Amino acid sequence: MSRHIWDFHGGIHPPENKKQSSETSIRWAGLPERLVVPVQQHIGAPAKPCVNVGDRVLKGQTLAEAAGFVSLPVHAPTSGTVAAIELRPIQHPSGMDALCVEITPDGQDEWIEHQGVSDYTALDKKAVLNRIREAGIAGMGGAGFPSVVKLGVKPDQKIKTLILNAVECEPYITADDRLMRERADEIVQGLQIVAWLIEPEEILIGIEDNKPHAIAAMQKATAGTQCEVVVVPTKYPSGGEKQLIHLLTGKEVRSGGIPADVGVVCHNTGTAYAIKRAIIDGEPLISRITTLTGDCVAEKGNYEVLMGTPVGWLLQQAGVKATDLHRLIMGGPMMGFAVHNMAVPVVKTTNCLLVPNTREFPDPVPEQPCIRCGSCAQVCPVNLLPQQLYWFAKTKEFDKAAHFNLADCIECGACSYVCPSNIPLVQYYRFAKGEIRTQQQEQAKADHARQRFEARQARLAREEEEKERKRQERAKAAAAKQAEKKAAPTAKAAPTTAADTADGADALAKLQTAAASTMKRYKEAQKALLTAEKNGSEHLEALQKKVEQLKAKADAAKEAFTTAKNAQGQTADAKPKPAAASKDDPFAALKQASAEDFAAYKEAEKALAAAEASGAEDVVALQQRVAELKTRSDASKAAMKEARAREKEQIQAKNAAADPVKAAKLEVAKQQVLLKKATKALQAAKDSDAGADDALEANVKAAEQALEAAEHALKKIEEEQA
C-alpha cells in the first residue's frame, strides 16, 4: 500500500487486552423480561414519547419522535406492552435519571410492517436521509451524534474524503473488530450508501494493524469498489476522529471546527452497518454489538444486544457473579465511565461493558506531587502542556488554562495513564472545563442583566425628561396665566405698589434662601448625628445640641419666610384667598418635603443600583443610605397623608357642623374606617406569624365599640329629627 500515513504527536500503547473477547463470534444476548428504552440516546434534544402506558407496540415501532433537527426517534426493540413511561437511571456519568419507556416483551417479537429498498439510488437523496433519520441512527462509536446531521452536506461544501473509522483503538473493545470479521459486506454496503449521499472523491477505511482478520475481511468486501482499506499503526488514540483524519489525510480540523470544514466526513463501523440495515432492510436501530469483557465475565465476547436491555440482566447472561462486581465500566478503560446502577440500560452508544476484578484494575493509588516530568506532554495527542493545565486547574487560574488551550483537550486520558505521580489529570481538566463553562454562563447572564439595567436606566431617564418637559410646560402655562391675572390688578393699582411688590419679592427671595440654607445645615447636622450615632462617636451630645440649635434656627427662618410670604401675599392683593393659602401651607410644605425625600430616596437607590452593577466598594454604605432615606421618605409620606386626612376631616367637620345628621354620619364612617384599619393590622400581624397581638385585638374591639356608639348616636339624631 503506497498511501502515506501521517503521524500525530504523542499517543500511548496500553496493553490491548482484546484477545479475550475477539476470538468468539457474535452471540445473541437474548430477550430480557423488560426493556428500558431511554428517549435520549444521542447528542441533541430528547425524543418525545408518542405511545401511552398500556399500549401494545410492535418491534420497530416508534416509541418517541425526534424533537428538532439535532434529535432522533427511538424504537421498540421487540413487541410487547408499554409498562411505564417515567424517569429511570440511565447511562450518565453522574448517575442521572432520565425519561425512559419501559416495555414488557410478549415474546412474539412481532415486527411492525417495514420495507427495505435494495436500489436506493432510485430514490431521492432527501428520502434516503429521512429514512436514516427515521431509523434513529446515532454515531455508534461513543458520542452518539445523529448521523443524519453529518450526512446532510451543505450545497457549498465539497466533501473530499469519506472515512470509515474502524480503528477501535481503546483496549478491550472488539465490537467493531467482530462486526467487520462477520458482516464486512453489510458494512461496505452501508458505507456505499453514505458515499452515494455525500459523493466524496475517496473512501478510506482506517483499521489498526492489530486486527489482521478484520483487515482481510474488509479488503475482501471492498474488492472492486471505490473503498480503500488503510492500515494504521496501533497507537492510542488513533481512533479519535481528529487523530484519524490527521493520520489518513494529514489535515487538521481547526480548533472548534468540524471535519466537514476540511472536506472530511467520518463515520463509525457500527454506524455504517446500521445505515445498511435501515435502508436495505428497512429496520430501525434497535440492537447493537456490545463487547462484554473483563475478568469478572465468564463468557467474554461480543453480544448482539437489544437497546434498553438492563446491564445487570446482560451481565448475568454472560456469567458475571454479582458478588464479584467491583467496578463496572461502560465503554473502554481509557474513556469509558463508571456505572453505579445495574438497572442502567444498554443504549445506541454502548460499545463495551467492562467488568474487571480488583487484580485487573487495582483501585487508584493516592496522588503524589507533580514533579513536572513532562511525560504527559510527551504523550498528549493534541500537543498540549498537560502539566501546566494541571497547575492552572489546581490553582483555579482558569484564564491561563483557557489560554493554554484547555478547550482542545479530548480527554483521551493518555496523560493520566503515563503520569508517574498517579495524578488523575483528566479529572482536573473536566473540573476546569466545567468551571470555565459556568463562568461563561454567569458572564453571559451578567452581561444580559447589565444590558437590561442600562436599557431600564435609559427608559427611566427618558420618562423623567418627558415628565420634566411637561412639568415645565405646565409651569409656563401657569405662569402665563398668573401674569395675566396679575397684570389686571397691577394695572389698576398705583405704580408705587408695583415697586413695593418688587421690593417685597426681593426680600422674600432672600428669606427663602436663608430658610433653605439653614434647613440644609440642619439636615446636614442631622445626618452627621446619625452617622455619629451609628459609629458610636464621642461627640454625640455636642452634635445633638447643634442639631437642636440648627432646628430652632431653621424653624425660625422658615417662619420668618412664611410670615413674610403671607404678609406679602396679603399686601400684594388684598383678597381673602392668601389667608386660606397660608392655612394650606403646612400641608403643602409637608407634601413638598415628602416629594423631596422620595426623590432623594429614588436617587440614592439609583446610585446603589449603579454601584452594584459596577461592583463599587461602597455598596454597603450606599445600601445603608438608601434604607435611611427610605424610612425618612416613608415617614414624611405618612406625615403628609396624616395631614391630608386631618385636613379633610376638618373640612368635612366644618361643612357638617351645620348639619348634626351629617356630622353623626361622618362619625360613623370615620369609625368604620378605623375599625377596618384595626382589623387589617390584626390580620397582617396574624399572617406574618408575628402572633396576634393582644393590643391589636383590643384596638379592634375598641373600634367596634366606638362604631356602635357612633351608629347609636346617628340613630338618635335621626329619630330626634324625625
Subset of 6-45 contacting other proteins (CB under 8 A): 8-9, 12, 14-15
Enumerate the H helices of 493-539 as residue ranges.
495-535
Tell which phi-psi region holds residue 278, choosing left (phi > 0), alpha (psi between -120 and 50) or beta: alpha
Least separation, in Å, of the C-beta of 396 and other proteins?
15
Beta carbon nearer to other proteins, 51 or 401: 401
CB of 366 to other proteins, least distance (A): 7
- C-beta separation of 396 from 439 below 8 A: no
Q: Which residue type, as a one-letter code, is found at position 655?
A: N
CB of 392 to other proteins, least distance (A): 10
242 lies in the binding site for other proteins (CB under 8 A)? yes
Q: Nine-digit cell at 150? A: 453529518
Q: Please, which residues bridge with residue 204 across strands?
A: 163, 228
- Residue 327 or 665: the one with the smaller Cβ distance to other proteins is 327
Which among 266-274, 409-417, 459-467, 495-503 is the span making contact with other proteins, rule CB under 8 A?
409-417
Out of 249, 271, 309, 421, point to the residue binding other proteins (CB under 8 A): 421
Q: Give 363 or 484: the residue with its C-beta nearer to other proteins.
A: 363
Q: Considering only residues 118, 157, 225, 255, which one is a binding residue for other proteins as defined by CB under 8 A? A: 255
Q: Which of residues 363-402 bind other proteins (CB under 8 A)?
A: 363-366, 368-375, 377-378, 381-385, 387-388, 399-400, 402
Instruction: Single out the residue of 3, 4, 23, 93 in contact with other proteins (rule: CB under 8 A).
Output: 93
Q: Where are the alpha helices (DSSP H) in 250-354?
A: 269-280, 311-317
Instruction: Report d(CA 407, CA 440) in Å as an integer.
Output: 13
CB 78 within 8 A of CB 109: yes
Q: Nearest Cα to 230, choosing from 165, 186, 177?
A: 165
Q: From residue 285 to residue 324, what is the string marking binding to other proteins with x (rule CB under 8 A)?
A: -------------------------------------x--
Q: Is 326 in the site for other proteins (CB under 8 A)?
A: yes
Taking CB under 8 A as the binding criterion, the range among 412-420, 458-466, 538-546, 654-662 that sits at the site for other proteins is 412-420
| DSSP symbols for 109-124 | -PBPP----S-GGGS-
Cross-strand pairs, 329:
338, 354
Question: Looking at 331, 345, 504, 578, which residue binds other proteins (CB under 8 A)?
Answer: 331
> Could you say which residues in the range 647-686 bind other proteins, by CB under 8 A?
none
Percent helix, strand, coil in the chain, to 5, is 55, 10, 35
Distance CA 35, CA 80 (A): 10
* Separation between Cα atoms, residue 676 and residue 650, nearest integer Å: 21
CA 252 to centroid of chain Cα atoms: 33
Distances (CA, A) of 629 to 24, 547, 598, 625: 83, 18, 8, 6
Of the pair 422, 482, the CB lying nearest other proteins is at 422
User: Which residue in the set 426, 515, 550, 557 belongs to the binding site for other proteins (CB under 8 A)?
Assistant: 426
User: Binding to other proteins (CB under 8 A): which residues in 128-187?
Assistant: 171
Pick the binder of other proteins from 6, 111, 337, 598 (CB under 8 A).
Answer: 337
Euclidean distance between CA atoms 82 and 52, whole angstroms:
7
124 forms part of the interface with other proteins (CB under 8 A): no
Selected binder of other proteins within 408, 473, 596, 649 (CB under 8 A): 408
Residues 6+ apart with CB under 8 A from 189: 276, 280
Q: Which is nearer to other proteins, 131 or 242 (CB)?
A: 242
Q: Which one of 29, 335, 593, 703 is in contact with other proteins (CB under 8 A)? A: 335
Q: Binding other proteins by CB under 8 A: which of 127, 338, 478, 638?
A: 338
Report the residue from 7, 106, 110, 252 that binds other proteins according to the rule CB under 8 A: 252
**CA dist 498 to 118, 491, 492, 510, Å?**
110, 9, 11, 19
Minimum CB distance to other proteins, residue 248 (Å): 15
| DSSP-assigned letter for residue 348 | T
How buried is residue 172: exposed, middle or buried, by Cβ count under 10 Å (0-12/13-18/19+)? buried
13 or 474: CB nearest other proteins? 13
Near other proteins by CB under 8 A: residue from 333, 504, 569, 578 = 333
Q: Which is nearer to other proteins, 313 or 417 (CB)?
A: 417
367, 376 contact by CB (below 8 A):
no
Query: How far apart are CB 443 and other proteins at their closest, in Å?
Result: 14
For residue 309, how many other CB atoms are within 10 A of its CB? 26
C-alpha span between 141 and 605 (Å, rounded) = 57
Q: How many residues bind other proteins (CB under 8 A)?
A: 75
Q: Could you tell me the smallest distance in angstroms from the CB atom of residue 261 to other proteins? A: 10
- Under the binding rule (CB under 8 A), the answer on residue 561 touching other proteins is no
What's the closest the beta carbon of residue 162 comes to other proteins, in angstroms? 21
**Given 56, 327, 521, 665, the residue binding other proteins (CB under 8 A):** 327
Question: Which positions from 501 through 530 interact with other proteins, judged by CB under 8 A?
Answer: none
- Please state whether the peptide bond connecting residue 237 to the residue before it is cis, i.e. omega within 30 degrees of 0: yes
